[in-house]
Amino acid sequence: QNKMSVTEFILLEFSSKPALQLCLFGLFSVLYSATLMGNALVFVLICLDCRLHSPMYFFLCHLSIVNICYASNSVPHMLRNLLGQGRTISFAGCGIQIHLFLIFALTECVLLAVMSYDRYVAICHPLRYAFIMNWRVCLTLVGVSWALGFIFGTIQASLVLDLPFCDPCEIDHFFCEILAVLKLTCTDTTSNKVLIFAFCVCFLLFPLALILISYLHILATILRIPSVAGWHKAFSTCGSHMTVVGLFYGNAIFMYMGPGSVNSPGTEKALSLFYSLVSPTLNPLIYSLRNKQVKEALLKLQRRKSLFHS
């Protein structure tokens, strides 16, 4: 059968045990709620507090938007599946999931590299920071991040959805993940896998190399700082970013660039859960809500809210 006869796909369950399905529904609901509230809170604080109107928080604001969209692309359908309210997804709906997933994933890859460059300029060239990271440059970097994600995500999604699919159209995943969908095709997918690998080199290895180079320069600069307070401030600023980078790129590289035999369906689901749900939940905590300036902005917002109610 060719792709024109395929009208829907079936997403397989995590488990056949109803009790476990219900427990997973509760856990993932809590994580998804935390993702939405945490990232929305970061977005609101950055928009409302003028002290956070700086390049670093501008990039964080866009990272929060990506995290919300990233999780919302797949988690609601997964929760519906866990409740047994329908395991099917239309061909068009599956295509939209693949397309949006690629856009947000590729955008985040570039955005994390942009944020490391911002930290490099801030620590290694503090006197020229305002000149180098002016708002025109910041808008250009963010625009390029979204544009690259959209363009290359669209290309990759179009090539996958144009393939012929065979029955049974059962996707062993909780959403239309590109590697899981490729397994259902009736034709040789070597060229698609080669293209995915090439995209991984461009959007994973290359940005990761830039990030590592940036942080090597940052480390060299930090080691020349005479005061312990300066060391602590620099490490606290960059440590959170490196944590996010390690979690995000590490999981993505293992999943998309590791040997195909390593990733069983269970492993693929676990890794996808991490960067689709766990990572967006942790990002606000790691990046922003433990930051002193963000904490002060949150306290200011709470005081304003208390005065309004009184």
pLDDT (tens digit per residue) in 7-21 = 788 888 676 677 888
pLDDT tens readout for residues 247-268: 788 888 888 887 664 566 677 7
pLDDT, tens digit, 9 for 90 and up, residues 267-300: 778 788 887 888 888 888 777 666 777 777 777 7
Going by pLDDT thresholds of 50, 70 and 90, the confidence category of residue 35 is very high
The CA distance from 18 to 37, in Å, is: 28
- Alpha-carbon distance of 191 to 159, in angstroms, equals 10
Number of other residues whose CB lies within 10 A of the CB of residue 69: 17
Candidate from 44-53, 60-69, 243-252 with smallest mean pLDDT = 243-252
Pair 82, 284: CB distance under 8 Å: no
Give the pLDDT band of residue 1 (cuts 50, 70, 90): very low
Would you place residue 111 in the very low, low, confident or very high pLDDT band (cuts 50, 70, 90)?
very high
Give the per-residue SS3 of the chain: CCHHHCCEEEECCCCCCHHHHHHHHHHHHHHHHHHHHHHHHHHHHHHHCHHHCCHHHHHHHHHHHHHHHHHHHHHHHHHHHHCCCCCEEEHHHHHHHHHHHHHHHHHHHHHHHHHHHHHHHHHHCHHHHHHHCCHHHHHHHHHHHHHHHHHHHHHHHHHHHCCCECCCCEECCCCCCHHHHHCCECCCCHHHHHHHHHHHHHHHHHHHHHHHHHHHHHHHHHHCCCCHHHHHHHHHHHHHHHHHHHHHHHHHHHHHHCCCCCCCHHHHHHHHHHHHHHHHHHHHHHHHHCCHHHHHHHHHHHHHHHHHHC
Q: Which of 26-40, 61-75, 252-266 has the lowest mean pLDDT?
A: 252-266
**Calpha distance 203→219 (Å, rounded):** 24
Overall pTM > 0.75 = yes
Instruction: Please name every residue paired with 89 in a beta bridge, in sequence order, or none if there are none.
Output: 9
> What is the spatial distance between Cα 216 and Cα 63, in angstroms, rounded to a whole number?
23
How far, in whole angstroms, is CA 249 from its chain's centroid?
10
Question: pLDDT-derived band of residue 102, with 50, 70 and 90 as boundaries?
Answer: very high
Give 39 or 255, the one with higher predicted confidence. 39
Residues 6+ apart with CB under 8 A from 14: 20, 21, 24, 82, 174, 269
pLDDT tens, residue by residue, 120-150: 998 889 899 999 999 999 999 999 999 999 9
Q: How far is CA 253 from CA 47, 58, 164, 239, 275, in A?
A: 33, 27, 27, 21, 12
CATH number of this structure's domain 8-308:
1.20.1070.10
Whose CA is closest to 42, among 297, 306, 299, 303? 297
How far apart (Å, rounded) are the C-alpha atoms in residues 265 and 296?
A: 44
* pLDDT, mean over the chain: 84
In this predicted structure, what is the pLDDT of residue 186?
Answer: 84
Which token pair is 39?
A: 């990232």
